[in-house]
Amino acid sequence: MKHRRAHALRRRYGRSESGGLCKSASRVQVLLFPRDKFNVVEAKAWAHKHDWKTSDVDVPPSGEYIHLRQEDPSHFRRIRTVYLGGRGVQARVGWPAC
C-alpha cells in the first residue's frame, strides 16, 4: 500500500526531469523524513525503493526532518507540503516558474 502511494504521488506531481521547467504542472522538490522515525540510511533506502533521487541529502542540525532534494527550489514559483501518511514522510511540491 505504501509503495502504491508513492507511485500515485509521482503520477500526480511528476518526478524531477532535466530540461525545461514547464514539462508538468507540478513536481516534487524535496522529500522530508521525520528524524524521530528515520535515519539517513533508512530515508535513502525508502527513496531508492520508490525510485526517487537519493544523492542530495541535507540534515539540518536543528531541524526535525531529513531532506532528500529532488530539484532546486529556485526552479519553482510556489511550493506546498503534501503529507504522504504512513511513517510521516512528506513531500514539498512545486509549480515551475515559467
Identify the pLDDT of residue 13. 54
Identify the pLDDT of residue 9. 60
Q: Are 34 and 88 in contact (CB under 8 A)?
A: yes
Please tell me the pTM assigned to this model: 0.74
Identify the pLDDT of residue 18. 47
Digitized pLDDT (tens) for each residue of the chain, 98 residues in all? 555 556 556 555 554 444 444 555 788 999 999 999 999 999 999 999 999 999 999 999 989 999 999 999 888 889 999 998 778 999 999 988 76
